Each structure stands twice: as structure tokens, then as C-alpha cells.
Amino acid sequence: MNIEIKAVTEENRADILALHVSESQTSYIETTEQCLKEAKECRYYHPAGLYRDGDLVGFAMYGWFPEYDEENEYGRVWLDRYFIDERYQGQGLGSIMLKALIRHLAELYKCKRIYLSLFEDNQHALRLYQKFGFEYNGELDCNGEKVMVKEL
């Protein structure tokens, strides 16, 4: 299986915009349209398509944000958005792509930690993130979501 993480470009933008989660997940994550708009407004965001064997199967948006970290580091690497398209859910791609994303972010940013946030009632995502070593750190983000961190 060939996994690729590709930046959103004019060539793949329409396909990225066509990605969506199931109806039961829409309250947990923004649409790709909303994400691309935010990425345009905030230069720290990097939206990307997640590909398996050349097929676009998911979306992520991540970045390094230069905020003070209480552990004397400046800046945090955030996996801010992540989902597998509804058509590809239930095939184990959530784990496969998250593993690839963690590796990608660690190499790209040479970071010691990766942060993300989620609504506590998003149990499916919570179990996935915990499986990969993310733990709550006691913080809430600006949207009231609980912050999780993974030590690398």
C-alpha cells in the first residue's frame, strides 16, 4: 500500500472539496471548504489530502503555531483537522493515515510533541487517538475542545 500526504493545490482542490464525513460526524469536524478558508486566513495552517494507492481517501490540516508552550518551548505542532472520507471509513484507514501523519509531522517539524483537540463525546476519534498515545493534558482550546498531546 502506497500512502501519500499531498498539499492542497489547484489540481486537487475540487477533489478535496468533495470529501465529507458521515452525517453522524458533521458536528465534530468542519467541512473541507471551511478548512481551506481558514488556511487562507491563517498562514500557519497546511491543508493536505491523504492518498492510498493514488486515491484521495481523507483530509488533514496541520501546522506549527508560534505560541508559548509552558514547557519552555516556543510553538506547538497541531494536527488540527483529520478525517477519512465517508466512502472509505471502516477499512482501517483511520489508523493507517494517522500513523503516516504522525511520522510526517515528526519529520517535517522535528518536534517533541503533537497536539490536537476534540470534543469529548467523539468517542470513535478519542479511542483512535488514545491508541496512538495521545493523552489529555488538562487544557481546553478556544472552542472548548479538550486538548490531547502525544510525546514523540
Q: Please write the tens of the pLDDT for every residue from 90-143.
A: 999 999 999 999 999 999 999 999 999 998 888 989 999 999 999 999 999 988
Is the separation of the CB atoms in 61 and 90 below 8 Å?
A: no
User: So where are the chain's domains?
Assistant: 3-151
In SS3 terms, the chain reads as: CCEEEEECCCCCHHHHHCCCCCHHHCCCCCCHHHHHHHHHHCCCCEEEEEEECCEEEEEEEEEEEEEEECCCEEEEEEEEEEEECHHHCCCCHHHHHHHHHHHHHHHHHCCCEEEEEECCCCHHHHHHHHHCCCEEEEEECCCCCEEEEEEC
Instruction: Given the residues 51, 62, 82, 129, select the one marked as catalytic.
Output: 129
**59 pLDDT more than 60:** yes
Catalytic status, residue 82: no
CATH ID of 3-151, from 3.40.190.10, 3.90.320.10, 3.40.630.30, 3.40.720.10:
3.40.630.30
Q: Average of pLDDT values for 25-36?
A: 89
**Residue in the structure block whose three cell numbers are 488514545:** 130
